Each structure stands twice: as C-alpha cells, then as structure tokens.
Amino acid sequence: MLLTSVVSSQPMLGVTVSKTICTFLITLAIWRLLRRFIIKSAFDNLPGPPSRSWLFGNIPQLFTPNGWNFHHSILKRYGRAIKLRGVLGEQLLVTFDPKALHYILVKDQHIYEGSSAFIERNRQLLGEGLLSTRGEQHRKQKKMLNPVFSINHMREMSERTRCRLCCKFSLMIGSVPLFYEVTERLRATLKTKLANGPQEIDALHWMTRTALELIGQSGMGYSFDNLSGDDDIHPYSVSVKKFVPLGGGPVGFLVNQFVFPFAIKFNFPRLKRFLVECLPFQRAREFVKVIDVMHHTSIEIINAKKKALTSPNPEVVAEMMSKKDIISILMKANVTASKQDQLSDEEVLGQVSEQMTTFVFAGMDTTSSALSRTLWLLATHQDVQQRLREEIRGAQEDGQLSYDQLVSLPYLDAVCRETLRVYPPINLAPMRMARQDMILPFSKPIFDSTGKQVSEVFIPAGTNIIISVLGANCNPDLWGPDSYEWKPERWLSPLPKAVEDAHMPGIYSHLMTFLGGGRACIGFKFSQLEMKVVLSVLLSSFKFAMAEKEISWKMNGIAGPTVAGEDEMHPQLPLLMRLVE
C-alpha cells in the first residue's frame, strides 16, 4: 500500500513541481520588466527622445532603412550620451563620447564585450570566428591573422613581387600586380561599353563585383567573377549582398536579441533547421538559402586548399606554400603554429567560413558602399573630381602607381578620409553589453534631463550600449560647426586641436569608421588600398556625372543607394559615364 501510494503520488508531484517552476519563471520575467520602471538610477536621467511604443520603444526608428533624420536629430539635440528605449522598456545607451568610447573599447573592453545576442547570432550563422568569439579565443585567432594585413603584405598586393618556385630560383612576375589585374579587367569592360559614347552605368553593380573579385583573389585565392558580362554574377556574391538586409532592420534586431540567445541553448541543428523551414515567412527561408550558399562555398574552398596542402606531389605542395592569399596563410600558419596556439579543425572551418564572410563584408559590401558613395560625391562635385583626376594622372607618368605612390597622393587620401568620416558605411557599431555594474566617465560634463551637469553615469550590468560611428566622426565639438559637411580640403591642413586632444580610440585617422580596441576592423588597410587602386584606375579613364534620377541612401546595416520611387530592395547607383579624352 505504501509503495502504491508513493507511485501514485509521483505524477501529482511532477505537476506540482512544473507549476512551481512555471510560476517562478513568470514571476521572474514580470519582476525584470517592472524593475525597469520601479528602480531608478542616474541612468534614467540621461537625455533622450520619448519612446514611440511601450512594446518596441525606439527600435523601429533606430533601425529603419529611412532613419537618417532620426539619427541626425538625436545626435544634434541630445549630444554625446543618449538614452533610448528598447523592447518592453529596456534602457539602451547610445554614445559617441571619446572618453566613454576609450573605456568601452580599450580600457575595459573585457567588461564591455559584444552583446550576447550579437555573439550567439554570429556563432549560429558563421561558426567559430572573429565575430563570434570572446577573450583569449578571439585574441588567438586575431594574432594568427595579423601578419596577413601587414604593410609588407599590402605592398605585395599592389606591386610586382618575387616568388620562389619549386625549382629554387627567383624571377620577377611578368603580369601586372594582383589588384591592378582585377581593376584592369573592369576598365576594359567599361571602355567597351562606352566606346560609342556616354551611357548610364550602375556604379554599385560594378563596384560590388570588383570588390568581391579583389577580396576573392587576394583573400582566398579564388576567382568569383571575370568582370565581363552584365549578368555573370557568382551565387556567393548574391548571397552576401542579401545577408545584411535579411538579418537587419527592426525585425532582425528583435530576432537577434531574443531568438538566437534562446536557440543556442538547444544543440539540435537539424531540428532547428526544420523548424525554421516550416516558418510561414519567406524572409526566414531566404535567409537559410543565403547561409547555405556561403557555407558550401567555404567548404569548397577549404577542401581544395587542404587537398593541395596534403598532396603527395611536392610541386603542388610548394605551389600551395607560396600562395599569399589570406585563407592559405591562415591554414599554413595553423600547421606551423605552436601547439597551444593551434586551432582545432572546427575552429579552422569556422575561421574560413566566418573570415570569408567577414573579409567579403570588408572587401565587398562596406568597401563597395564607400566606393559608390565616393563616385556619387565626385559626380556631384565636378571640381573635386577634376582636381583628383589631375593628381592621379600626374603621378601616373611612369605607369601604374606603386603602393608607396598611392598612399602618398594627398588629395586622393583626403577624398577617401572625408568620405569615410561623413559617410561611414556602417552607422552603428555592433552592440556592447556591460557584464557588471560600471561607472562610465565622459570627456566633459553633460546635462541630464533634469538640467544637472554629470561627468559620469552608472551603467547597470546587462545594459546594452550602442556606439554611434556617425556621431563620433561628425562631432561638432571636435570638427567645428561644419562637421557634417563633406570637405576633403580639411585634411590638407592641420586638423583642429580639439580632434587631436580628444584621443578618439579609433584605429584610423581619429575616426571610428573602423572602430578601435581589440575588436577593431583587422582589414582596414586592405580596404583603404582597395579604394585607392580602384579610384586611381577609374578616374584616369572615365568621367562621372549624375544621371537624371534621384538617389536615396538607405540604412540597411550597411548604407546603400537606391533610386527614389523604385524597388528599395534593389540597390543601385546609376551614374552617367563617359571616356576621358
């Protein structure tokens, strides 16, 4: 009887325990929600715009493709530290204060790591790479990749180089340098198109294809595009172009914040894929296809290189060992690294998959965005375009420009720097999250919403922090009242003393375009070289003018142009091009 009683009571006990757990979880969720409105701190008094929705806060305004006016308005009205509302009243901090950025990105970067949502999303989609690791694992991966982006390696990408063949002698490579080989193909195709006179050309289309081929050849030793036919586009290019819009915007933000951190706790990949494919949302199914193409291309490239590296033919191995593309160097470096610094097979695959995506974003989407923006600006500022063309042509008397010549052209450098200052391709850096209670100082006092001056603010653990790249680059306190105006000439004179004294923690020209600290963009030198090579080749042969269409730039994670009144999901930049006499 006693045994029967115990057995019969077990279901009742299970139900009781389940109810208790559910009640606890619901109570905890309600408490976390209510404490946002009950418990007050100095953070609550930071200035900021009113919340537009009790459910979504300011998120729709912050991440909408047409959000430029909202961003400019809050930066100019509320200053260097802004409080926004997230989902269900969550408090977000938006800042571009130089001292605050130094603490977030450099001094206390181990505390202000990438948000859990950002890290887990990248880990789910891209594997174990730079964008999805923290701490020592991230440091180890970055250390292995640093030599790839050295000045010497960049110089080799743009100059004639020596290579040691398996027959143990050296010779000068007769073909044009790698960067020029790609851009010369582009120039030849465009010359053919313009042979019969001026035409309207989609500059974004060709900048995207050229940027992908440059990063493919130099980054992976892989050709994606011969840059000939209008429609000869590699599926990988199409997929990467869709990755940011599909994963961005208000919907992408909500999915990243709430779905991926939950999904990572369940290690059932096939089940998760099945559930995603069953969702009645075309966007979700399209995202799965994009990830598949990117992943399968990564597998294809790494398997080909692994096969060459382990080939029984010494000539094949020697050829592989002589390659200087990023993925080959990564694989060779891992083979020769010390045991404690070696990556596992899973990490190498994650690195290749993730680094391919990272490098393509750096070399394709962000750089093609910056190049397209530069051409658009030059088309609207014909005097700047002509001056830049004269500088480039004057330096080309002896033929193609070397690395040292490219980086020493003052006006070309000024145009690139000013474009990246006023029009950074990425307006908001990936979110950081405070992992413990912190005091965040400011470079100078700010006025809170009560009118009180404060020089620091308490940041509760778990607070998400958004860095405004646009705000940091165009801060009128540093750059003056014309800070939001595009003026390349400002770089030809000494910069304002306030800019130098601010000690902005960015790794490039007192700007935050490529961020700073341990998670700064590792490929910023590559991107700079890429921009200058393409501009020097195009401007020496072609003239750009505005077509009779209104261009609208969208904030789709990475800024992109569209034609006003046409499909916003089809980015394009039609410019009128003609051959230069």
Q: Write out the DSSP string of 368-388.
A: HHHHHHHHHHHHH-HHHHHHH
Q: Which residue has the higher pLDDT, 524 or 581?
A: 524
Residue 66, pLDDT > 80, answer yes
Give pLDDT tens digits for 311-338: 888 887 777 777 767 677 767 767 677 7
DSSP H helical ranges for 39-115: 59-63, 68-78, 98-102
> Average pLDDT of 351-368?
70
Q: Which residue has the higher pLDDT, 243 or 204?
A: 204
pLDDT of residue 559: 92
Residue 224, pLDDT > 90, answer no
Mean residue pLDDT across the chain? 81
What is the enclosing helix (H) or strand (E) of 91? strand 91-95
pLDDT of residue 4: 45
d(CA 373, CA 460): 39
CA-to-CA dists, residue 122 to 93, 504, 525, angstroms: 22, 27, 24
Give pLDDT tens digits for 39-48: 566 678 899 9
pLDDT of residue 533: 94
Which of 8-22, 157-171, 343-357, 485-499 is the least confident region? 157-171
Give pLDDT tens digits for 479-491: 999 999 999 999 9
| Tokens (6 digits) for 197 | 């006179």
Report the candidate in 395, 270, 294 with the shortest Cα–Cα distance to residue 349: 294
Residue 12, pLDDT > 60, answer no
Give pLDDT tens digits for 116-158: 666 666 666 666 666 666 666 667 766 766 666 666 666 666 6
Residue with tokens 């399968």: 296
Q: What is the pTM of this model?
A: 0.83
For 88, which DSSP code? G
pLDDT band of residue 220 (cuts 50, 70, 90) is: confident
Residues annotated within the binding site are 521
pLDDT of residue 34: 58
Sheet containing strand 542-546, edge to edge, reads 199-202, 574-579, 542-546
Q: Which residue has the higher pLDDT, 291 or 93?
A: 93
Find out whether 448 and 46 touch, Cβ atoms under 8 Å: yes
CA-to-CA dists, residue 555 to 53, 239, 470, angstroms: 21, 19, 12
Q: Which residue has the higher pLDDT, 100 or 164?
A: 100
pLDDT of residue 168: 31
Residues annotated within the binding site for heme are 521
pLDDT of residue 138: 67
For 511, which DSSP code? B
Give pLDDT tens digits for 408-443: 999 999 999 999 999 999 999 988 999 999 999 999
